[in-house]
Amino acid sequence: MTFSKRPTQSDVAKRAGVSRGTVSLVLNGSDTRIPISDDTRARVLQAADDLGYTPNPVAQMLAQGSNRLIGVFTYEAIFPFDRDDFFFPYLTGIQREASINDYNVLLFTRSRQIYANTMNSLLLADGSILLGASPDRAELARLCEERYPFVYIGRREVPDCAINWVANDYKIGSYHATRHLIDLGHTTIAFCGHGYALEPQHEKLAGCHRAVDEAGSIEWRVIPEDILKQPDAFMRAVRDQRITGLLCTDNNAFYTALACLHEHGLRVPEDVSVISLTSVNHSLPYPHMPSHVQLNRPNLGQVAVQTLISCISGEVTQPQQIYIPCAFIAGGTTAPRKEGR
Amino acid sequence: MTFSKRPTQSDVAKRAGVSRGTVSLVLNGSDTRIPISDDTRARVLQAADDLGYTPNPVAQMLAQGSNRLIGVFTYEAIFPFDRDDFFFPYLTGIQREASINDYNVLLFTRSRQIYANTMNSLLLADGSILLGASPDRAELARLCEERYPFVYIGRREVPDCAINWVANDYKIGSYHATRHLIDLGHTTIAFCGHGYALEPQHEKLAGCHRAVDEAGSIEWRVIPEDILKQPDAFMRAVRDQRITGLLCTDNNAFYTALACLHEHGLRVPEDVSVISLTSVNHSLPYPHMPSHVQLNRPNLGQVAVQTLISCISGEVTQPQQIYIPCAFIAGGTTAPRKEGR
DNA sequence: CTGAAAGCGCTTACAG
DNA sequence: CTGAAAGCGCTTACAG
């Protein structure tokens, strides 16, 4: 209970001298074909105005069964922004598309868990968008089983159930990034980053492999994340293996690599070309713009909401799995391989 | 109506062979002192599990009267980001504080209007944070009269009612910005920007005036926004009046001024010092960091939510009006006045 | 310790 | 054209 007692529908009915049903009818002028006499209508409106009546949306939701709410749930803390600022670009698109379709947006921030003591917190929304690198697959399976409408942002596989997802097409982006290095004459290329357990990393790796396989005779290396964390080990790997092209899975790897190289006297892009396989945080003009794969997160958010709405409305019953294209942007951190290296 | 028929509380009651009230009691283990036999409890839990029962939150909300929802309503479109990217920094703070206090966040995106045919859309939330440069003051007055708990982000005055607000203290920021120019030896200083109708502009102007008055013998100019839009007129004003210090009300004015000066051969900060009286979009290191007043929007969002929650809980009944300090950051766009100009 | 009942505030067939 | 009633799914005194 919050603030002062508000007038209710029956207060209005009493004052207008009609029944509650009638009040409901005139107040939401629904398309019901039942006409109401002008006199009654006027009396009701007047009474509502006198009382400052305003319907209780929760009661309306309960009676109507729908509430025009799109939920957003994330498996990662939204703050602090550990994994870059990935949340808000998606939210921008979610918000825009929800607004276009006359939905409000509910941010589930109370918990990082969907099911807690028999409660399903998402149920308040007609359907939800889920995000986060590491979902609880068991929860997703249960959600699926209960036929709750949801769309995951990012490809996620759940054993024995096909869930809806909309994902960045990292594969094609990584393919083009790798091609770019190869076209510039690089022959020893390393992939550096972490989290092979996660779907997006698989896809990046797959895209790179495809380009490498097509080219033939490329020396392909992998520098796992823990090596990247030890600057000396990292530099040894780069130097000993004569790596001239670096494909970084995320911003963290990208900026760490740049800093390491700089500190140890290797110039980018003169000595080593470096690419980020995901969107970079700062958008500066060329030549300061890094060479990177550019995601379109707002667009992805919009598509996710469109997909969700078509599930909610029942238009679509097959699981939807959609890739959103990524572009490769050649910026100032890549250059032709120097002779001699 | 959305998806498949879900089991309800009475389904569970039936299966467990108890009454609905009992089910409610065991399922939300509330602090009610009424103890329940282990046997009954177990039967209910089992039945709930068998059926995959999960309570309907809307019904709970209606019965309980509270819904642990903080609303966010904005009088400006959130996208496209016409006025910089001002929304998300606030949202970050709102979201964080809501989460800390175990509230969800509801983004009202369905409409730019609170009251529409007798409906008050905010009512779904226990209380709301409002934003936007140009609110509908009549709506605010009505909200106030109905005693709906809300807090405005930014100082807003509504005739005949004291509303809660939390605002950036532009006045102190602008004061220090102006002092900075004066301390650097500038004697002809202009304020450029727009929207004198709005409270934040008043405060910026007031802060500047205070510094100018304290210093004495400063030539003080105002370049209204429409002049800024005509590069020639703008440059004439700067040159003819020998302005060497420019205080810009917003990012738009700031970047426009920089571009104009650059195009017409005046160097910043050598020839003209330029300051933004609000946070700048890009955070680059010195010397690229512009001289500017730095807002702390996430913090402001958090304080707004704290204030709102204390209203909702009834802890506080007096209108709350709080200023959040702003710091002045001396960056690379200001320098001592050159001799001779 | 448990059940029957009233209530939260609205909507929607169903009669008249 | 309007009223009386049942229902949305839950909670919470009130009896026993």
Q: What is the pLDDT of residues A210-268, one digit of tens each?
A: 999 999 899 999 998 888 889 999 999 999 999 999 999 988 889 889 999 999 999 99
Q: What is the pLDDT of residues A16-43, one digit of tens each?
A: 888 888 888 888 765 555 667 777 888 8
Q: What is the pLDDT of residues B145-198, one digit of tens each?
A: 888 999 999 999 898 899 999 999 999 999 999 999 999 999 999 999 876 677
Burial A262-273 (b: 16+ CB within 10 A, else e): eeeebebbeebb
Facing residue for B95 by CB, picked from A3, A78, A118: A78
- pLDDT at res. B2: 40
Over 60: is that where the pLDDT of A310 sits?
yes
To probe the interface with B, which of A124, A147, A289 has the most B CB atoms within 10 Å? A124
Facing residue for A107 by CB, picked from B65, B95, B298: B95
Over 60: is that where the pLDDT of B229 sits?
yes
Mean pLDDT score of chain B? 88
CB neighbours of B257 closer than 8 A, spacing ≥ 6? B192, B228, B234, B246, B248, B274
Over 60: is that where the pLDDT of B238 sits?
yes
Q: Which B-chain residues 297-316 have CB contacts (< 8 A) with chain A? A: 298, 312
Whose CA is closest to B249, among B207, B289, B301?
B207
Q: Which A-chain residues 241-260 have CB contacts (< 8 A) with chain B? A: none
- pLDDT at res. A226: 85
Most confident range (mean pLDDT) of A60-69, A272-281, B182-191, B256-265 is B182-191
Report if CB A18 to strand D is under 7 Å: yes
Spacing of B160 CA from D3 C1' in Å: 43
Q: Does A60 touch chain B (CB under 8 A)?
A: no
Q: Does A4 touch chain B (CB under 8 A)?
A: yes
**Residue count of chain A:** 341
All residues of chain B having their beta carbon less than 8 Å from the beta carbon of residue A61 are 58
Element containing residue A63 per DSSP (H, E): helix A57-64
- Pairwise CB contact (< 8 Å): A312 & B2: yes
- Pairwise CB contact (< 8 Å): B312 & A2: yes
Report if CB B8 to strand D is under 7 Å: yes
Report if CB B24 to strand D is under 7 Å: yes
Nearest nucleotide over every DNA/RNA strand to the B36 CA, judged by C1':
C1
A59 vs B134, more confident:
A59
B66 vs A300, more confident:
A300
Average pLDDT over residues A3-12: 77
Spacing of A4 CA from D13 C1' in Å: 22
Report if CB A197 to strand C is under 7 Å: no
Average pLDDT over residues A117-142: 91
Spacing of B73 CA from D4 C1' in Å: 40
Q: How far is A120 from chain B (nearest CA, A)?
A: 6
- Which bases of chain D are under 7 A from a protein CB atom? 1-13
All residues of chain A having their beta carbon less than 8 Å from the beta carbon of residue B96 are 78-79
All residues of chain B having their beta carbon less than 8 Å from the beta carbon of residue A8 are none
CA-only gyration radius of chain B, Å: 27
Widest CA span of chain A, in angstroms?
95
Q: Does A288 touch chain B (CB under 8 A)?
A: no
**Quick one: pLDDT band at residue B308, thresholds 50, 70, 90?**
very high
Over 70: is that where the pLDDT of A196 sits?
no
- pLDDT at res. A2: 40
Q: In whole angstroms, what is the distance from residue B56 CA to residue B206 CA?
A: 53
Q: In whole angstroms, what is the distance from residue A232 CA to residue A255 CA?
A: 16
- pLDDT at res. A302: 97
Structure-token pair, residue A157: 């596989």
Q: Please, which contacts does B76-83 make with residues 24 or more away whose CB atoms are closer than 8 Å?
A: B76/B131, B76/B132, B76/B133, B76/B134, B77/B112, B78/A92, B78/A95, B78/A96, B78/B109, B79/A92, B79/A95, B79/A96, B83/B133, B83/B250
All residues of chain A having their beta carbon less than 8 Å from the beta carbon of residue B103 are 109-110
Facing residue for A107 by CB, picked from B56, B105, B115: B105
State which residues between 49 and 108 of chain A bring their CB within 7 Å of strand D.
59, 62-63, 65
CA-only gyration radius of chain A, Å: 27
All residues of chain A having their beta carbon less than 8 Å from the beta carbon of residue B66 are 1-2
Report if CB B25 to strand D is under 7 Å: yes
Average pLDDT over residues A313-319: 88
All residues of chain B having their beta carbon less than 8 Å from the beta carbon of residue A131 are none
Between strands A150-153 and A104-108, the pairing is unpaired
Widest CA span of chain B, in angstroms?
95
Q: In whole angstroms, what is the distance from residue A21 CA to residue A19 CA?
A: 5
